Structure 1
Amino acid sequence: MDKTDDLIERALSAEDRALLAHHGEPGYIPQALGLFRGPQGWVGVLAYVTALAAFAGFAFAFWQLWTAHDMLAAVKWGVVALLLFQYSAMMKTFMGTRVEANRMLRELKRVELQVALLRESAATDRNAAR
């Protein structure tokens, strides 16, 4: 942790700490599975299915490349294998950026929660002062 995290930790009340601990950072597997939920879940499913299909096609094309006896056929299968592998890697990168975007949205929601708690406590203090 750096100094800013320490200052934030000291500024939080016990209730805030408990609330943030309850809504802590999920592990990698729940984050990855979160790609398939929500209003954009179908995009994650589509990307995952096409990445799996591309990787299966890559494996087949690579096997054909490996067993080819003709140089021209080997080059053709090699190009197909390369393109399918690149597509599979691109989809993995796309899904990784979505995981990071979801992490940022989660952090923004935490900040919104803290602002709402501060606003609520300020309103409670004003009402108690009257």
Structure 2
Amino acid sequence: MSKIDDLISQTLNEDMTPADTPQLPEPGYFAQAKALFTGRLGWVMWLVGIVQLLFSLGAIFAFFQIFGDNNVLDTLRWGIVTIVLVQLVTFLRGFMGSHFEANRVLRQLARLELRLVRSESETER
């Protein structure tokens, strides 16, 4: 194993007291969701959010159009439009969810890196 692997395993295996651990509180759900719309890819998330809102409104409109038509073919068309729009909204929510989880993983990696640096600085003393 390399030195970094040894440091990671040592850091993960050692028992640190609560006074030694850096206190970085886990942000709440809404704070994490708000963080999606900031940063380098914030504009992409804003665009996805707006498109998702438009698709949702379109799906609601198409759903109510199903009940207004007496023609079976028109009802079927509105139903297909509703299903497609709901699927697109679900896809976009999954896209945003994957970035949500990636941000959580990156935050945990930053915490691990901080612990490694603290551990390494304490062993150098």
TM class by smaller structure: 0.7 to 0.9
Q: Which amino acid aligns with 2:37?
A: F
Structure number with higher relative contact order (C-alpha < 8 Å, ≥ 6 residues apart): 2
Q: Could you say which residue in structure 1 is the equivalent of 2:80? A: 79
Q: TM-score, normalised by structure 2?
A: 0.83
Give the alignment's Cα RMSD to 1 decimal: 1.9
Which deviates more, 65-74 or 8-17?
Answer: 8-17
Alignment CA distance shift 1:81-1:70 (3 Å):
same
* 1:36 shift after superposition: 0.4
What CA distance in whole angstroms lies between the structure 1 residues aligned with 2:56 and 2:30? Answer: 21
Q: Which amino acid aligns with 1:11?
A: D
What CA distance in whole angstroms lies between the structure 1 residues aligned with 2:79 and 2:107? Answer: 42
Q: Could you say which residue in structure 2 is the equivalent of 1:11? A: 15
Identity in percent: 34
**Segments ≥4 residues shifted beyond 6 Å:** none
Q: Could you say which residue in structure 2 is the equivalent of 1:4? A: none
After superposition, residues 1-130 of structure 1 pair within 5 angstroms as: 11-17=15-21, 19=22, 22-123=23-124, 125=125
What CA distance in whole angstroms lies between the structure 2 residues aligned with 1:48 and 1:65? Answer: 26
Structure with a larger share of its residues in helix = 1
Q: Which amino acid aligns with 1:47?
A: V
Q: Which amino acid aligns with 1:91?
A: L
Q: Which amino acid aligns with 2:63?
A: F
Instruction: Structure 1 unaligned segments of length 5 or more: list them.
Output: 1-7, 126-130
1:91-130 deviation line (CA, Å, top 9, x unaligned) = 111111111111000000001111111122223x1xxxxx
Aligned residues between the structures: 115
